[in-house]
Structure 1
Amino acid sequence: MIGLLLAVTMLAACSMATEPPAEKEDLPAKAVEGGTLTIVRMSDAGNLDPHFISTINAASVVHQKVYEGLVRRDANMVIVPQLALSWRQVSDLVWEFKLRQGVFFHDGTPFDATAVKRTLDRVMDPKIASPRAAMFDKIKQIKIVDPYTVQFILERPFTPLLSILASHEGSMISPKAIEQYGRKLAEHPVGTGPFVFRSWEPGNQIVLDKNQQYWGDKPKIDHVIFRVVADDQKRIAMVENGEAHVAESIPVQEIDRLSASNRLHVYRSEALGTEFIGFNVAQEPLNDIRVRQAISSAIETGAIIKGVYNNVGTQANSPLGPKVFGYSSSVQSYPYDLNKARELLAKAGYPNGFSIHMLTYDRNDRVMVAQVIRSQLKGIGIDAKIDVVSYADFVTTIEKTRTHQIFVSGWGNATGDADYNQYNLFHTMGGGAGNSFQYSNQELDRLLEAGRVESDPAKRLAIYAKAQELEMQDALLVPIRNLENLAVISIDVQGFSISPAGYLMLDQVSIQK
């Protein structure tokens, strides 16, 4: 789970979507049908099977392009119909969905109740061992009422159900493709969406084609190419010289220069994610809350946002971003106070400080954050030794070996609901690999369980506000900033956007000629 939450920040960081300056809009151009949209990105997808995708980077290739769900979120984060025309709660334990008719998967298989049942039975099958299975473990049975009506029979009430069905985990997969490809579905995605998968050259590019038989409004562009270009400057240069239309994961230090260009503009929109400094509370001396509080009080997050991130993003106060349902603005992090930090260390038995390891992965901004934190912690006598590893090794360490102490990281939120982060990352049992803090608190567990079954929105907000207060009081992490989605876009491209969850949205894209 943490893999998914970390990698969303590859797009990252908050403000409203920006539009090209007025002088750029005056250039003579005409949006037409057709053309190939080329997107250059830092890394490859890794997996295209919705039941095994672990990053937003991968999900963004197929979500709302190749694959669709029963429901989706609109631009305002409201859940609206997609492959389901309507739904209702028959009771606390039964949800009923009326399905859209006349829809076909890309291989010609009809979309119907059988397809819904086959898709969800697959993700819940222990033999498949999907890492996404835990998101659906409240479902006892998928019942076919008639060819275009299904019921979800739950073991217990589960309020976040619709938000999960609206994320990439809720993608509907062709039953024929499931049988035909098995585990190789990761390389052969077959959905109902506006784009059809054509090819994948691992480490190089993925190509999608317009679905000429799409049931809804057809895309304006004919093809999409996702090209892997690891070098930041090369990605930007490709947009500047016309080799590409969109560059993801741009360095924040380049924003001012790029914003002045008359050939492109910088896309910025508020994201759901948060970057933070986390503590493994099972490791000494971090098992002492006074040590965690001392470190929290010694970190000046505002300096990090300004110095490392060029003021991209807003200062975070909570484990949740402001656009996530459940966020509380009343939650407070520990204020910067070196005297208080030194006092806490002395009370914990470390008047002269200590040495500790700080883990992060080989992404420039993360390394820079670690360096700033190292410098700040010297002020209270702590020698933080920075360990920089590959992203894969980073995830292995925090999810499996659990030998880390302090870690510099971040997470996104694919559903827009607090449960996605809170339960998976902080619940004693439910967190599994995601609980990289190795934290256990019965009161917090009770709150997170209550948040899953409470149907009243106001009461859910109160529950998650209390949960965040506990997490911050126990100093499990130091929130740094709320993230923004960033991209560089050619002025020839219209209609491009990035959802708050970090998915690239291409349904309205056109290329000016």
Structure 2
Amino acid sequence: MSRPLLHAALALSLGAVTLPAAAQAQALVVCTEASPDFLNPQFSSQNTAYDVAAQVYERLTATERGGSQIIPSLAESWTISDDGLAYTFKLRKGVKFHSAKGFTPTRDFNADDVVFSLGRMADPANPFNKVGSGNYQFFNEIVKPSFKSVEKIDDLTVRITLSRPNSPLLSALSVEPMSILSAEYAAAMMKAGTPEQIDFQPVGTGPFSLLSYQKDATIRFKAVPDHWTKAVGNKDRMALVSDLIFVITPDAAVRFAKVRSGECQIARYPNPGDLPAMKADSNLSILQGSIADQSFLAFNERKKPFDDQRVREALAYATNIPAIIDAVYQGTGKAAAAAVPPALWSHDEKLKPRPYDPEKAKALLREAGLPNGFETTLWAIPVVRAYMPNGRRAAELIQADWAKVGVKANIQTFEWGEYLKRGRAGEHEVGMFGYTWDYPDPSQILLSGWTCAGVKSGSNRAGWCNQEASDALDKANTITDQAERAKLYTRFQELFHQDVAGLLFANAQAFTPVRKEVKDYKIHFFGGQPFYGVSVAK
């Protein structure tokens, strides 16, 4: 099904929703920046999809809300074999799946659902493996290289067996692409001849169920009345409002205006330039904190002249990063040189950004046989992210910088979903991309975005393949000694910097304006932003 038809069909199948006046008082309205690229997070690497999945789905493990500790979720406990190859999970009893149009669950969550969810991604012979996107980027990059099997021991026990140790596995299992889907729902949709429905009309075990989705407009969720957290009294994981509404608002200024007026109660990814006005508004609280992020220009090494390190380095010297930080981040970012951000262990503080030096840039271009420069396209990220507050403005500054050394950059952009799709296909020459870590281990973004294997899968947007760097990441993932792992990540960062694998911008501060009637909202730095545990004062 084409994407426009998909969204139209989904909106119709879930039905438009008008909240009654009584329910509106219990609603939490969040202004978000863009539509999700997928409703099934197994296919995505983007926070827009993760934010939806964080409400609807759950995973075996979780990251504590607003923190970095890995805690039990659908798995109540686990044991790890001495050789680090077998993880045995005891599953939570009495967990209910949501209902959907054409499906009402007849049983509780059990081991079959874990086996189905992981098996779908791992086994090419699984009938659902090619349904939907068929590209399980997170699983393929982070879990699959060490994954051997998943088996049901009994209804409430599963075992994951690895072919080699995978140190951050428990953390990786907490991320939205590892969400647990209903095997019973999948079987029912396969029998009905509509297997793709499981990806378009999500059924999970989360504290909210998805009620309706209108692309580029709204996403509406309903609190699940019998969610397992109520039985155990876990208020932090419980839906505390009856309705949750994402109002998709691409313009950061409009998001801020809506939170000021009360049209929404939380505004995601505001413009840094609005921070003084936010702080001056007595109706708003400003939450702020450091995030683990990576924001960069990807020089597509699969296209000339970007396969030449001298050209990449020339463009690094030609880019006035401090000016970009002043104009775009407006005091909320610090120039980055290391591929691992300061918020994570193994960050290499010895590395320093290349200074702005147009003359050195010209010399490197002459050395590379391009004394008169060249012409290229520069993709500007079309949405506001914490790691890149204003892609268009940053692109304009880069365009002006490069013109001074003879490089003509033509700025292009696309709708966010199209931007991501084309980026995965490697259509860019120079593209603006970024990531935030989904769990507190350096391995995740490095493995998913910067390996030789990632060049083939499309996750390595730069097309950079340094085998020594890839081998260092691979080895670091198989050992448990953190000091030894840190040495390998340090070597990776040195190679990244030496090769100019990407031109890093800044490590950013995240901040969110929240209306004061909202209680216990916490900025969540890893994975999708949860809105359970949040209430609205009457």
TM score, norm. by length of structure 1: 0.87
What is the alpha-carbon distance in structure 2 between the residues aligned to residue 94 and residue 383 of structure 1?
A: 54
For residue 245 of structure 1, report the CA deviation from its aligned partner: 1.0
* Residue 167 of structure 2: aligned partner: 159
Judged with a 3 Å threshold, the aligned counterparts in structure 2 of structure 1 residues 165 and 363 are, in CA distance, closer, same or farther, namely closer
Unaligned runs of 5+ residues in structure 2 are: 1-23, 100-104, 190-194, 385-389
3-state DSSP class of the match of 2:329? Answer: coil
* Residue 421 of structure 1: aligned partner: 445
Judged with a 3 Å threshold, the aligned counterparts in structure 2 of structure 1 residues 271 and 241 are, in CA distance, closer, same or farther, namely same
Task: Please tell me whether the aligned partners of residues 85 and 99 of structure 1 are also in contact (alpha carbons under 8 angstroms).
Answer: yes
For residue 393 of structure 1, report the CA deviation from its aligned partner: 4.1
The answer to whether structure 1 residue 435 and structure 2 residue 460 are counterparts is: yes
What is the alpha-carbon distance in structure 2 between the residues aligned to residue 258 and residue 229 of structure 1?
A: 18
Task: Please tell me whether the aligned partners of residues 48 and 185 of structure 1 are also in contact (alpha carbons under 8 angstroms).
Answer: no
* Of 131, 137, 140, the match for 2:135: 131
Judged with a 3 Å threshold, the aligned counterparts in structure 2 of structure 1 residues 149 and 251 are, in CA distance, closer, same or farther, namely same
* Residue 118 of structure 1: aligned partner: 116
* Residue 479 of structure 2: aligned partner: 454
* Residue 287 of structure 2: aligned partner: 267
* Residue 196 of structure 1: aligned partner: 209
Aligned residues: 479
What is the alpha-carbon distance in structure 1 between the residues aligned to residue 527 and residue 74 of structure 2?
A: 22
What is the alpha-carbon distance in structure 1 between the residues aligned to residue 49 and residue 176 of structure 2?
A: 10
For residue 54 of structure 1, report the CA deviation from its aligned partner: 4.1
* Larger deviation, residues 499-508 vs 365-374: 499-508
Q: AA paired with 1:94?
A: A
Judged with a 3 Å threshold, the aligned counterparts in structure 2 of structure 1 residues 286 and 187 are, in CA distance, closer, same or farther, namely closer
Unaligned runs of 5+ residues in structure 1 are: 1-32
3-state DSSP class of the match of 2:295? Answer: strand
Judged with a 3 Å threshold, the aligned counterparts in structure 2 of structure 1 residues 198 and 384 are, in CA distance, closer, same or farther, namely closer
Task: Please tell me whether the aligned partners of residues 93 and 153 of structure 1 are also in contact (alpha carbons under 8 angstroms).
Answer: yes
3-state DSSP class of the match of 2:258? Answer: helix
The answer to whether structure 1 residue 72 and structure 2 residue 80 are counterparts is: no
Q: With CA pairs under 8 Å and 6+ residues apart, which has the higher RCO, 1 or 2?
A: 1
Task: Please tell me whether the aligned partners of residues 335 and 353 of structure 2 are also in contact (alpha carbons under 8 angstroms).
Answer: no
Task: Please tell me whether the aligned partners of residues 37 and 417 of structure 2 are also in contact (alpha carbons under 8 angstroms).
Answer: no
* Residue 172 of structure 1: aligned partner: 180
Q: AA paired with 1:350?
A: L
For residue 46 of structure 1, report the CA deviation from its aligned partner: 4.2
3-state DSSP class of the match of 2:413? Answer: strand
The CA RMSD measured in Å over matched residues stands at: 2.4
The answer to whether structure 1 residue 101 and structure 2 residue 93 are counterparts is: yes
Task: Please tell me whether the aligned partners of residues 271 and 485 of structure 1 are also in contact (alpha carbons under 8 angstroms).
Answer: yes
* Residue 92 of structure 1: aligned partner: 84
What is the alpha-carbon distance in structure 1 between the residues aligned to residue 398 and residue 416 of structure 2?
A: 20
* Residue 325 of structure 2: aligned partner: 305
* Of 27, 39, 53, the match for 2:30: 39
Judged with a 3 Å threshold, the aligned counterparts in structure 2 of structure 1 residues 119 and 407 are, in CA distance, closer, same or farther, namely closer
Aligned residue runs from structure 1 range 282-297, under 5 A: 282-297=302-317
What is the alpha-carbon distance in structure 2 between the residues aligned to residue 192 and residue 395 of structure 1?
A: 28
* Of 346, 351, 355, the match for 1:331: 351
What is the alpha-carbon distance in structure 2 between the residues aligned to residue 58 and residue 471 of structure 1?
A: 29
TM score, norm. by length of structure 2: 0.83
Q: AA paired with 2:431?
A: F
3-state DSSP class of the match of 1:434? Answer: coil
What is the alpha-carbon distance in structure 2 between the residues aligned to residue 385 and residue 355 of structure 1?
A: 8
User: 1:398-417 deviations in whole A, cap 9, x for unaligned?
Assistant: 322x3432222222222333
* Larger deviation, residues 35-44 vs 123-132: 123-132
* Larger deviation, residues 469-478 vs 86-95: 86-95
What is the alpha-carbon distance in structure 1 between the residues aligned to residue 405 and residue 121 of structure 2?
A: 49
What is the alpha-carbon distance in structure 1 between the residues aligned to residue 25 and residue 317 of structure 2?
A: 55
* Residue 22 of structure 1: aligned partner: none
Aligned residue runs from structure 1 range 139-158, under 5 A: 139-158=147-166
What is the alpha-carbon distance in structure 2 between the residues aligned to residue 213 and residue 70 of structure 1?
A: 19
Q: AA paired with 2:74?
A: L
